[in-house]
């Protein structure tokens, strides 16, 4: 860029700064004070002009010392070793017992004695402390250092290590920006364009009288610093997407309380009462009185658990043939899965209107007794969808799964038989991730066991699936640590810069 | 986890399967397979408790590819002089195993099976435990009884001198691990000459232990849970049948002893084509169904309208017809299930409040606020101690693995400030909000704690004041709920929030006559607790009291 062109790019502050440094003013703080311009504005100008090669910025670092709170205390009372020297001088020789009576704490006494003995200023003779007057000057000098005016002018050869170590003074560094003008800078100053009257900001006045006015050019080739914009949470944005997909497919949203009884979380779904998921190592128990459990339903669940049922030739269950303990149902926990919510809806809605088809979903938090790491959190989102209708089979379930995952951008899925206590058959849903070149688990599904529906008198099949929300989300965002998104340790920079586009489009 | 190798599995299956073949078979049956190269690590789902050794997993995979892994199926009963007396581990089953060849190479496998079952079905030997002895080293009759601990004296397994009770429970590893299971007196097995050969469920005597040369095994399964003892016995029998013939020993009971009634009779289940069609959506003939079931070890009898199916004795997971159909599915292959396009018509909708919540969110984003997703699980320290908010009717939690979780949140502010304190060096202003549930004690719900929806707004900046927050509140309320009289009024307690806020810069937010939240400027004492260096103005709005 030629000199004239550069001159035209300079604004008022730039020109002021350049003129100032061409004379004798060299420091930004000095110029800022003299011309009443904010130092930060001058600094921006300096950086801008440095990038054009008009000037150089030299950082001059000055080291300074100041008193700490303790230092200020000693400024009025004197350093402990100084106080001790004065005391010995007044009443020689002094015993340790006498010293202990002085208004110093134990640490101060030992620091004082330590320093004095190290420098051979005192000697111990028959349990008495004796002063060597020839060396007392050292301590007096040190004590005098505490005076702030002296501290400022401290010379390099004074040893401050002891005072710094004892946290009596602290060291600080101040940076002074010294500016030096370059030859190009001088040329710009001399350029005819330097004094051209170019307009910086368009004013209402100028809008009316714009003819003949020259506008200063703006450089638009670098990314400007902007204020952070407001933004939805990336995980909640993803949850909205999931909800929209399910609502579009005809599903209605469910809700239930985070606090739940183990009856609705486990027993209603035929979890065995000694199932490891129920252990305190896995489930979060609330320290509270017993929750209430619907009596009639509990009775029916107990019956099925212990003895099964024999409703028809093809609908016979032998149950678990073991005792059901009602006390284990009446325990309050933080719900471990949203299937607890599902069964409350089966009880409240489906079982009361058995002829109508029903489709429900939930996207909500569940809780497990886990420690946090990169891929696990003790609280996380679960997505669940269920369908109730005449003649539903596993084929329908596979149809729903395929439709849902397609809408979530996941086309390539496969299903693997698995085991869940409350569905049979059960299928794990896996998606292929080209990014990591692997099949990964992205959901679980199945047909509810007849034992789980018998207490409600439901004879039709209910198919259900769950979607691995967090797993898919972190793969989509391409992050290695889920803690970036959730909770008190989430990273504000990450949340602000997370890119929405990654939530949409084809899964990779 | 069953750890084996491709060579071992191929030897059992008499096949030359590749790693890929094993992966495909496992995927089809729903077994997780890990390991590298030659190593195969199988993880079977938790319902199939009996699949615990390389033999039983090979047997299962063999059924899928039509290969019969050698197994002595017949179970005979054997009479022996075994006397069971009453003890505090009252349930005892006994097996005799005639190994096909001496234990040799399989000794390790036998001990692994024992160890795994003790842990799984036996629940670390507390419900049931297995003892294995070299039959040929024992002199009959043998007796199972409780004795005084002072009378215990034998050489425990792995030692070479006699030890008394105290020495066994303190000096042996097994003694230290399992002596807690003995409720009263120790229980022992003694042989004809009175010599003790085991102290179940803790340790065996050295002389009766199994070696590479052992040909016959005597096995006891003891416990205080009848289901567990019988279930473990059956699962163990299947795994031993690959090594030899297994007989059940009928002991003599002395005194008031409870029989385990171990039997191998299984419940029968009816099945026909339409049951398969209903559950799987697959058309399958009775001939096909029977063929699959027979190859998986089921006994199948023709019935008028279908088949009557009896699962093999070790299939304790089968309690309904659907479990059998699930087996058919695994055999048939999930990939062969046809998809049916969704066709049930229902009206879909998100929660009633979702439109209002979306609108609140858009307004706040418009004001430049970043949405967060804060934790529900937190601690008294962050909720009350540091914030100065009064602790009332909250949900404390028990036995958390994570040290800083002790309760479920009852306010949003605590977690909000925690977030700020962990993001001190990020760009300012930090304008944040979150909409989420807190748990509140309630008599209206059977679960004692109700979810209540709240909105937390926080602005942290060097010159942040509550005026901006106040302005946002007015806008949010008017835009979403209409133009009622909005007022901020001072109150002594502010629902416990008073301790968190600067007196005179705080108040309840009234919407008409309703109290719908609190707002104010966070007190410097609280900011110091969180090491926050910039002023924070906040509002916590009770969305539930606005009908959301």
Together in a domain, B423 and B367: yes
Contacts of residue B378, Cβ cutoff 8 Å, sequence gap at least 6: A488, B404, B405, B406, B407, B408, B409, B414, B415, B418
Q: Is the confidence at residue A12, as pLDDT, over 70?
A: yes
Residue A492 contacts B where some CB pair is shorter than 8 Å: yes
Strands B142-146 and B75-84, sheet pairing: parallel
At which of B23, B42, B65 does a domain end?
B65
Question: Do A130 and A92 meet the contact criterion of CB atoms below 8 Å apart?
Answer: yes
**Three-state secondary structure readout of A3-65:** HHHHHHHCCHHHHHHHHHHHCCCCEHHHHHHHHCCCHHHHHHHHHHHHHCCCEEEEEEEEEEE
* Span B221-279, pLDDT tens digits: 999 888 899 999 999 999 999 999 999 998 888 877 778 889 899 999 999 999 999 99
Q: Residue B377's domain is classified under what CATH number?
A: 3.30.930.10
* Span A440-490, pLDDT tens digits: 999 999 999 999 999 999 999 999 999 999 999 998 999 989 999 999 899
- Give percent above pLDDT 70 in chain A: 98
Q: Is residue B348 domain-resident?
A: no
Together in a domain, B207 and B276: no
Domains assigned to chain A? 3-63+174-215 (1.10.10.10), 66-168 (1.10.10.10), 235-257+337-503 (3.30.930.10)
Contacts of residue B119, Cβ cutoff 8 Å, sequence gap at least 6: none
Distance CA A354, CA B30 (A): 33
**Given this model, what pLDDT does residue A149 score?**
56
Strands A438-448 and A462-467, sheet pairing: antiparallel
Asked whether the CA dihedral B62, B67, B68, B70 is positive or negative, the reply is negative
Residues B377, A334: C-beta atoms closer than 8 Å = yes
Contacts of residue A306, Cβ cutoff 8 Å, sequence gap at least 6: A319, A320, A321, A322, A323, A324
Residues B370, A259: C-beta atoms closer than 8 Å = no
Distance CA B269, CA A316 (A): 7
**Given this model, what pLDDT does residue A200 score?**
83
Together in a domain, B26 and B132: no
On the question of a cis peptide bond just before residue B141, with omega within 30 degrees of 0, the verdict is yes
Structure tokens belonging to residue B461:
């900046």
CA-nearest of B253, B281, B210, B296 to B94 is B253
Q: Is B266 left (phi over 0), alpha (psi -120 to 50) or beta?
A: beta
At which of B65, B99, B115 does a domain end?
B65
Measured between CA atoms, the residue of chain B closest to residue A363 is B350
**Given this model, what pLDDT does residue A156 score?**
61
Strands B153-154 and B91-99, sheet pairing: unpaired
- B residues 42-71 closer than 8 Å to A (CB): 45-48
**Three-state secondary structure readout of A220-234:** CCCCCCCCCCCECCH
Together in a domain, B506 and B473: yes
* Span A99-158, pLDDT tens digits: 878 888 888 888 888 888 888 888 877 777 888 888 888 888 888 777 765 565 666 666
Question: Do B196 and B145 meet the contact criterion of CB atoms below 8 Å apart?
Answer: no
Q: Give residue for tokens 């200063």.
A: A216
Question: Do A298 and A449 meet the contact criterion of CB atoms below 8 Å apart?
Answer: no
Question: Poorest-confidence range of A162-171, A409-418, B324-333, B459-468?
Answer: A162-171
Asked whether the CA dihedral A323, A329, A331, A336 is positive or negative, the reply is positive
Q: Residue B300's domain is classified under what CATH number?
A: 3.30.56.10
Together in a domain, B376 and B518: yes
Structure tokens belonging to residue B270:
């009816």
Q: Give residue for tokens 């005819």.
A: A192
In this prediction, the residues of chain B whose per-residue pLDDT falls under 70 are: none
Structure tokens belonging to residue B277:
């069609």
- B residues 251-290 closer than 8 Å to A (CB): 267, 269-272, 275, 277-282
Together in a domain, B100 and B157: yes
Measured between CA atoms, the residue of chain B closest to residue A391 is B278
CA-nearest of B86, B72, B317, B63 to B187 is B86
Q: Domain count of chain B? A: 4
CA-nearest of A413, A196, A274, A166 to B124 is A274
Q: Which residues of chain B make contact with A261, given a CB cutoff of 8 A?
A: 446-447
Together in a domain, B368 and B305: no
> What backbone torsions phi and psi does residue B466 show, to the nearest 5 degrees?
-75, -10
Together in a domain, B451 and B419: yes
Average pLDDT over residues A345-364: 97
- B residues 10-39 closer than 8 Å to A (CB): 27-30
Q: Is the confidence at residue A42, as pLDDT, over 70?
A: yes
Contacts of residue A449, Cβ cutoff 8 Å, sequence gap at least 6: A270, A422, A423, A424, B320, B322
Distance CA A485, CA B350 (A): 24
**Three-state secondary structure readout of B129-191:** EEEEEEHHHCCCCEEEEECCHHHCEECECCCCCCEEHHHHHHHCHHHHHHHHHCCCCCEEEEC
Question: Do A471 and A442 meet the contact criterion of CB atoms below 8 Å apart?
Answer: yes
**Given this model, what pLDDT does residue A151 score?**
62
Q: Which residues of chain B make contact with A386, given a CB cutoff of 8 A?
A: none
SS3 B82: strand
At which of B228, B253, B278 does a domain end?
B253
With cut-offs at 50, 70 and 90, classify the pLDDT of residue A8: confident
Distance CA B334, CA A417 (A): 7
**Given this model, what pLDDT does residue A155 score?**
62
Together in a domain, B328 and B206: no
Q: What angle do CA A285, A289, A291 make, to 5 degrees?
A: 80
At how many degrees (to 10) do helices B54-65 and B226-240 cross? 70
Residues B326, A293: C-beta atoms closer than 8 Å = no
Range of the domain at B375: 354-546
- Give percent above pLDDT 90 in chain A: 53
**Given this model, what pLDDT does residue A148 score?**
61
Question: Do B386 and B529 meet the contact criterion of CB atoms below 8 Å apart?
Answer: yes
Q: Is residue B70 domain-resident?
A: no
CA-nearest of B120, B205, B80 to B155 is B205
Kind and range of the H or E run holding A75: helix A69-77
């Amino acid at each position: 860029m030629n000199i004239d062109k550069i001159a035209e790019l300079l604004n008022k502050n730039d020109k002021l700064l350049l003129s100032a440094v061409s004379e004798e003013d060299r420091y930004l703080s000095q110029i800022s004070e003299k011309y009443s311009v904010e130092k930060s504005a001058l600094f921006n100008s300096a950086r801008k002009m440095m990038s054009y090669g008009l000037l150089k910025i030299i950082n001059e670092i000055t080291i300074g010392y100041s008193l700490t709170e303790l230092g200020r205390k000693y400024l009025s009372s004197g350093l402990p070793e100084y106080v001790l020297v004065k005391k010995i001088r007044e009443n020689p020789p002094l015993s340790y017992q006498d010293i202990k009576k002085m208004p110093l704490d134990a640490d101060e006494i030992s620091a004082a004695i330590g320093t004095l003995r190290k420098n051979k200023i005192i000697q111990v003779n028959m349990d008495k402390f004796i002063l060597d007057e020839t060396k007392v000057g050292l301590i007096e000098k040190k004590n005098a250092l505490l005076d702030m005016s002296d501290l400022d002018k401290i010379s390099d050869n004074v040893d401050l290590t002891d005072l710094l170590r004892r946290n009596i003074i602290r060291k600080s560094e101040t940076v002074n920006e010294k500016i030096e003008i370059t030859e190009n800078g001088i040329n710009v100053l001399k350029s005819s364009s330097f004094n051209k009257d170019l307009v910086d900001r368009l004013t209402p006045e100028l809008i009316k009288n714009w003819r003949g006015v020259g506008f200063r050019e703006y450089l638009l080739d670098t990314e400007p610093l902007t204020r952070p914009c407001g933004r939805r949470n990336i995980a909640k944005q993803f949850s909205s997407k999931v909800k929209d997909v399910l609502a579009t497919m005809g599903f209605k949203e469910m809700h239930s309380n985070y606090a739940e009884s183990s009856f609705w979380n486990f027993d209603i779904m035929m979890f065995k009462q000694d199932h490891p998921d129920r252990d305190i190592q896995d489930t979060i128990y609330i320290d509270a009185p017993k929750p209430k459990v619907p009596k009639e339903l509990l009775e029916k669940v107990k019956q099925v658990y212990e003895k099964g049922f024999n409703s028809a030739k093809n609908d016979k269950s032998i149950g678990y043939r073991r005792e059901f303990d009602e006390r284990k149902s009446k325990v309050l926990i933080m719900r471990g899965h949203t299937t607890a919510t599902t069964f409350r809806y089966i009880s409240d809605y489906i079982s009361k209107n058995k002829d109508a088809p029903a489709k429900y979903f939930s996207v909500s938090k569940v809780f497990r007794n886990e420690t946090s790491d990169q891929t696990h959190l003790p609280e996380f989102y679960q997505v669940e969808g269920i369908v109730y209708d005449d003649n539903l089979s596993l084929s329908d379930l596979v149809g729903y799964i395929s439709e849902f995952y397609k809408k979530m951008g996941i086309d390539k899925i496969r299903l693997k038989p698995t085991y869940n206590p409350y569905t049979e058959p059960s299928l794990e849903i896996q998606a292929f991730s080209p990014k990591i070149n692997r099949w990964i688990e992205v959901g679980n599904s199945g047909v509810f066991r007849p034992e789980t529906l018998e207490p409600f008198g439901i004879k039709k099949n209910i198919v259900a699936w769950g979607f691995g929300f967090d797993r898919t989300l972190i793969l989509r965002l391409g992050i290695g640590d889920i803690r970036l998104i959730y909770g008190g340790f989430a990273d504000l920079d990450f949340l602000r810069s997370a890119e929405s586009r990654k939530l949409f489009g084809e899964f990779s | 986890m069953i750890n084996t190798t491709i060579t071992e599995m191929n030897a059992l299956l008499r096949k030359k399967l590749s790693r890929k073949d094993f992966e495909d078979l496992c995927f089809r049956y729903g077994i997780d397979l890990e390991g590298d190269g030659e190593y195969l690590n199988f993880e079977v789902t938790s319902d199939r408790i009996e699949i615990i050794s390389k033999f039983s997993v090979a047997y299962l995979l063999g059924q899928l590819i039509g290969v019969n892994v050698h197994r002595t199926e017949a179970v005979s009963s054997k009479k022996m002089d075994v006397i069971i007396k009453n003890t505090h581990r009252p349930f005892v089953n006994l097996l005799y195993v005639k190994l096909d060849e001496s234990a040799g190479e399989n000794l390790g496998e036998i001990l692994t099976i024992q160890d795994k079952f003790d842990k799984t079905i036996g629940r670390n030997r507390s419900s049931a435990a297995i003892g294995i002895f070299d039959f040929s080293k024992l002199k009959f009759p043998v007796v199972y009884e409780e004795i005084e601990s002072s009378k215990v004296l034998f050489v425990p397994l792995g030692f070479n001198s006699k030890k008394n009770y105290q020495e066994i429970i303190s000096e042996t590893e097994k003694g230290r691990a399992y002596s807690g299971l003995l409720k009263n007196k120790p229980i022992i097995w003694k042989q004809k000459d009175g010599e003790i050969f085991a102290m179940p469920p803790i340790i065996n005597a050295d002389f009766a232990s199994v070696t590479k040369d052992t040909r016959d095994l005597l096995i006891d399964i003891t416990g205080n849970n009848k289901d567990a003892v019988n279930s473990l016995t059956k699962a163990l029998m299947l795994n031993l049948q690959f090594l030899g013939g297994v007989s059940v020993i009928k002991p003599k009971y002395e005194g008031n002893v409870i029989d385990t009634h171990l039997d191998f009779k299984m419940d029968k289940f009816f099945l026909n084509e339409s049951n398969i069609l209903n559950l799987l959506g697959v058309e399958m003939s009775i001939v096909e169904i029977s063929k699959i079931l027979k190859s998986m070890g089921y006994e199948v009898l023709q019935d008028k309208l279908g088949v009557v199916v009896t699962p093999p004795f070790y299939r304790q997971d089968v309690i309904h017809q659907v479990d059998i159909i699930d087996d058919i599915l695994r055999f048939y292959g999930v990939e062969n299930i046809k998809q049916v396009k969704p066709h049930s018509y229902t009206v879909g909708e998100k929660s009633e409040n979702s439109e209002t919540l979306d609108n609140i969110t858009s307004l706040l984003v418009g004001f430049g606020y970043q949405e967060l997703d804060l934790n529900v699980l937190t601690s008294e320290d962050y909720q009350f101690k540091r914030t100065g908010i009064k602790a009332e009717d909250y949900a404390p939690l028990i036995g958390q693995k994570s040290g800083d979780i002790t309760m479920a949140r009852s306010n949003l502010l605590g977690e909000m400030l925690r977030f700020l304190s962990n993001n001190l060096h990020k760009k300012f202003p930090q304008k944040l909000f979150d909409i989420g549930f807190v748990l509140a004690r309630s008599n209206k719900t059977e679960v004692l704690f109700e979810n209540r929806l709240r909105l937390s707004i926080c602005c942290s900046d060097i010159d942040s004041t509550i005026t901006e927050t106040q302005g946002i509140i007015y806008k949010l309320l008017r835009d979403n709920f209409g133009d009622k009289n909005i007022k901020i009024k001072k109150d002594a307690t502010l629902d416990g929030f008073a301790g968190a806020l600067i007196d005179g810069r705080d108040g309840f937010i009234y919407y008409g006559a309703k109290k719908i939240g609190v707002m104010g400027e966070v007190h410097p004492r609280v900011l110091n607790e969180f090491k926050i260096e910039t002023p924070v103005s906040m509002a916590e709005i009770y969305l539930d009291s606005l009908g959301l």
